[in-house]
Amino acid sequence: MKQSTNDLNAVTASSTASKLKNLRGLDLFRTLSWAAAVATVLLLGWIVLEIATQAIPSIKAFGLHFIFNAQWNPNTEQYGVLAFVVGTAVSSLLALLMALPLGIAIAILLSENFLPLSLRQTLRFVVELLAAIPSVVYGLWGITVVVPIVQHLGQGLAKYLGFIPLFRGPAFGNSLLTASLVLALMVLPTISAISRTALVNVPKTLREGAYALGATRWEALFGIILPAAGPAIVAATILGFGRALGETMAVAMIIGNSPRLTFSLLSPAGTLASLLANQFAEAEGLQVSALMYAALLLMLLTLMVNIAGRLILKRTEQAAATHIR
């Protein structure tokens, strides 16, 4: 009896020690997680503080006029980023307009059994491989392939549709349209991959319920499955738009890097990211501060896009939940 009691006490002590060890492990993991989170926030704050500090001379010199002025001339120390803000917004939005429907179509093709499984897996691998290609390679491809095509087609567009401001000539190969086309290809893998995953993860019961009510395949797809995957598709769109806003190397190689304000898709333009990449290495004096001001604006623009995206995502989730009910 005494032996069995001792054995029970030993087992209890071993179990208690094991639980304490697990608790220590959890506490250590929790501590490391908090440390990593705090370090990330502090690092981000440090980056913003450094950029804002170096931008102070330019902020004092130009104020908000810096945002609404379209003149960028280092020789006369006149700086304004309106042309670059417009170029950033137009190129990113146009790229998103081209990539979003194509990305959703690819996601539908790869998530449904329209094609044999082996072919779908091959296409999925090819699409996802596009995300691994360095941006400089996209830029070189744009120079050798897209620029001649846009210049050739742009001449016809300027000739017959030149009365429309978006297609006003003369047509250049290095233009806003060229940058938008390359950006669309660059954000396509993000949109299609996340959208496909969302479509695949929609519960099968929703599809089966739609079929049970007499819906056709396309009615179930567009009436039930796509709305259910809507929040994830919105998230993919936000991520794609964010990448388009911040893309630097490929855009700098093909957009023309013009400081002129233009609304023609066939004319050279510039973006905030390409401005920083092209001029920071040789900048000095007030120009460095102006570039830091532009970098601060780019960060604020990205932050505004993320906030707006979160609000849209929240509404989409609510609408999807209501639709499913």
Assess contact for 225 and 216: CB atoms under 8 A.
no
User: In terms of domains, do 11 and 146 share one?
Assistant: no
Separation CA 232–CA 260 (nearest Å): 38
Domain count, the chain: 2
End-to-end CA distance of the chain: 62
User: In terms of domains, do 89 and 102 share one?
Assistant: yes
User: In terms of domains, do 168 and 47 share one?
Assistant: no
User: In terms of domains, do 3 and 145 share one?
Assistant: no
User: In terms of domains, do 51 and 75 share one?
Assistant: no
Domain closes at, from 26, 60, 94: 60
For each of the chain's 325 residues, which pLDDT tens digit applies?
Answer: 544 555 545 545 555 555 555 556 567 778 888 889 999 999 988 988 999 999 999 999 888 888 898 888 888 888 889 999 999 999 999 999 999 999 999 998 888 888 788 888 888 888 888 888 888 999 999 999 999 999 989 888 888 888 888 888 788 889 999 999 999 999 999 899 888 888 888 888 887 788 888 888 888 888 888 888 888 888 888 888 888 888 888 999 999 888 888 888 999 999 999 999 888 888 888 889 999 999 999 988 888 888 887 777 777 666 656 655 5
User: In terms of domains, do 232 and 312 share one?
Assistant: yes
User: In terms of domains, do 27 and 131 share one?
Assistant: no
User: In terms of domains, do 102 and 245 share one?
Assistant: yes
User: In terms of domains, do 208 and 112 share one?
Assistant: yes
Burial of 242 per CB tally in 10 Å (0-12, 13-18, 19+): middle
Helices of type H across the chain: 2-62, 65-68, 82-111, 117-129, 135-141, 147-161, 176-200, 204-212, 217-220, 226-228, 230-246, 249-254, 272-279, 286-324
CATH assignment of the domain containing 194: 1.10.3720.10
Question: In this predicted structure, what is the pLDDT of residue 204?
Answer: 83
Amino acid symbol at 138:
Y
User: In terms of domains, do 154 and 242 share one?
Assistant: yes
User: In terms of domains, do 92 and 43 share one?
Assistant: no
Domain span including residue 158: 63-324
Assess contact for 157 and 130: CB atoms under 8 A.
no
Assess contact for 275 and 80: CB atoms under 8 A.
no
User: In terms of domains, do 32 and 139 share one?
Assistant: no
